[in-house]
Amino acid sequence: MVEELPGVTRDRLELEAEWNGHQFLVVDTGGWIGGGDALDAKVAEQARRAIESADLALVVVDVTVGITTEDEDVAKLVRRSGTPVMLVVNKVDNLAREAEAWEFVSLGLGDPQMVSALHGRGSGDLLDVVVERLGRLTGDLVSGASQEQFRQAEEGASGAISRAGADAVPRVAIIGRPNVGKSTLFNRLAGQERSVVHDVPGTTRDAIDTVLDTEVGQIRFVDTAGMRRRSRSAEGPEYFAMVRALQALDAADVVLLVIDATEGVTHQDQRLAQRIAASGSPIVVVINKWELLATDSRAGVLADLEDRLAFLGESPVLKVSARTGLGAHKIPAALHKAIEAYHRRIPTGELNRALASIQAAHPAPGSRIRYAVQGASDPPTFTLFATHRLPATYLRYVERRLREDFDMGPTPLKLRVRLGG
């Protein structure tokens, strides 16, 4: 059972496959061409990367041609990568060819697995061996990930879902109602010029995350399998889509909330946004399909959005067209900024200097903050030691100023007050 995924990069075709109940991902490298021009070099580079990130490499050779220098080069490349390998000899249509197939043993890739792709001969046996070897290698059957990533995934599945620490790859969930353009947006981000795409198993069962290398560092998009597949039916009933979205939300450090500009902020969008805000994650809002708006209706749509999502406070709002690419290049930087602020630790000295000027500009009525410390990050949490109670309006003022002074963007902040002295 094979289902075609939209190629996430131009030169690689990926297929989700299932054999005897085992799922794995097949990556077609588009051929390996040594040397030659710039395009060859690019294809070769993609192939090399695919080999390195794979759990098992299948080197396919043609029995009717015999061993070519390319075969030898590929064999060398794969052996050097350290990736487990299987030698597949194709076009073995009869007994005579079967004898000839043994010549390829000299490539040093083990015994030949003989198939005739044309007649389907041996392909069932081949799949049996592939599934068996993958199972032995990983103890599970999701491909495209290193042993280390599997170990991490296992830890994530057995314990609480682990959130990224300050130096781990930040996790982003793309959340929004059906048809707002989440898949289109994700594919746009994955297709951007500089992005390099890796698949990693997600924290929940059968989820696949995607790590993108962006100009601001790596970003991990949570549970992207459905987005890559892009087929409506695969998402299943809406209830399950919702459960998945909530799981993705819990696994994320920051949420990309996608709104459809042509529909504006609906009641359902508001409820989603509230649920996300309650999770404590910073939010970056994307208002998608922007190119469909008539120029004179844009200001109204933005004002309406600010109104209905007022409780999101400082969340940035990016105007984007996932279809044309307009504005999409700003997304990685906005996500990064939000995540950075979320993990931010402000040194006590700096914090107290800022508080002195905050109080100088606007003293608290009948109270004074003597000093403060940041007790925790994710999100940044501050304890203010004050002489007397601080009114809520004053706390909101302090929060706003801290947010501005330390450029904390959409990150939720927590303030606690301790009285004394």
Residue 183 vs 374, nearer CB to ligand GDP? 183
* 232, 261 contact by CB (below 8 A): no
Q: Does 367 bind ligand GDP (CB under 6 A)?
A: no
Nearest to 390 by CA among 411, 419, 351: 419
* Residue 296 CB, nearest approach to ligand GDP (Å): 18
User: Per CB under 6 A, does 329 bind ligand GDP?
Assistant: no
Tell the smallest beta-carbon distance from residue 253 to ligand GDP (Å). Answer: 21
Single out the residue of 53, 149, 184, 203 in contact with ligand GDP (rule: CB under 6 A): 184
Cβ neighbourhood burial of 148 (10 Å; 0-12, 13-18, 19+): exposed
Please give the Cα distance from 412 to 5 (Å, whole number): 37
The verdict on 323 binding ligand GDP (CB under 6 A) reads yes
Q: Outline where 62-122 has alpha helix (H).
A: 69-81, 95-101
Taking the least distance from each CB to ligand GDP, the nearer of 113 and 184 is: 184
CB 115 within 8 A of CB 93: no
For CA atoms 197, 200, 206, 207, the dihedral sign is negative
Q: In the window 17-46, what residues touch ligand GDP (CB under 6 A)?
A: none
Size of the site for ligand GDP (CB under 6 A): 15
Token code pair at residue 197: 């795409």
- Closest CB to ligand GDP among 171 and 289? 289
Interacting residues with ligand GDP between 278 and 297 (CB under 6 A): 288-289, 291-292
Instruction: State the virtual CA torsion across 98, 100, 104, 105 in degrees, nearest 10.
Output: 70
The vertex-152 CA angle with 146 and 153, nearest 5°, equals 90
Nearer to ligand GDP, 211 or 261 (CB): 261
- Which residue number, 41 or 292, has a Cβ lying nearer to ligand GDP? 292
Residues 357-362: contacts with CB under 8 Å, at least 24 apart: 358/397, 358/398, 358/401, 358/402, 358/405, 361/401, 362/397
Q: 256 or 398, CB closer to ligand GDP?
A: 256
For ligand GDP, the closer CB: 126 or 272? 272
Q: Residue 224 interacts with ligand GDP (CB under 6 A)?
A: no
Closest CA to 107 of 137, 77, 128, 64: 77
Binding flag, residue 210, ligand GDP (CB under 6 A): no
The answer to the question of residue 182 lying near ligand GDP (CB under 6 A) is yes
Name residues contacting ligand GDP, limited to 229-248 (CB under 6 A): none
In the bound state with ligand GDP, the residue whose beta carbon lies nearer, of 242 and 292, is: 292
319 binds ligand GDP (CB under 6 A): no
Nearer to ligand GDP by Cβ, of 83 and 288: the residue is 288
Residue 112 engages ligand GDP in binding (rule: CB under 6 A): no
Of these, 90, 203, 321, 367, which contacts ligand GDP (CB under 6 A)?
321
Rounded to an integer, what distance in angstroms lies between the CA atom of residue 315 and that of residue 336? 13
Cβ(384)–Cβ(368) below 8 Å:
no
The stretch near ligand GDP (CB under 6 A) out of 40-48, 85-93, 178-186, 245-253 is 178-186
Distance linking the first and last C-alpha atoms of the chain: 71
Q: Provide the 10 A C-beta neighbour count for residue 360.
A: 8
The DSSP annotation for 292-357 comes to: GS-GGGHHHHHHHHHHHTGGGTT--EEE--TTT-TTGGGHHHHHHHHHHHHH----HHHHHHHHHH
To the nearest whole angstrom, how small is the minimum distance from the Cβ of residue 317 to ligand GDP?
A: 15
* 322 sits near ligand GDP (criterion: CB under 6 A): yes
Coil, strand or helix at 379: coil
Nearest Cα to Cα of residue 234 among 5, 14, 25 = 5
Q: Is-contact 316 409, C-beta < 8 A?
A: yes
Does 179 engage in binding with ligand GDP (CB under 6 A)?
yes
Of 105 and 234, nearer to ligand GDP (C-beta) is 234
Residue whose C-beta lies closest to ligand GDP: 181
**Which of 180, 207, 293, 417 touches ligand GDP by CB under 6 A?**
180
Decide: is 183 part of the binding site for ligand GDP (CB under 6 A).
yes
181 in contact with ligand GDP (CB under 6 A)? yes
Residues that bind ligand GDP (CB under 6 A): 176, 178-184, 288-289, 291-292, 321-323
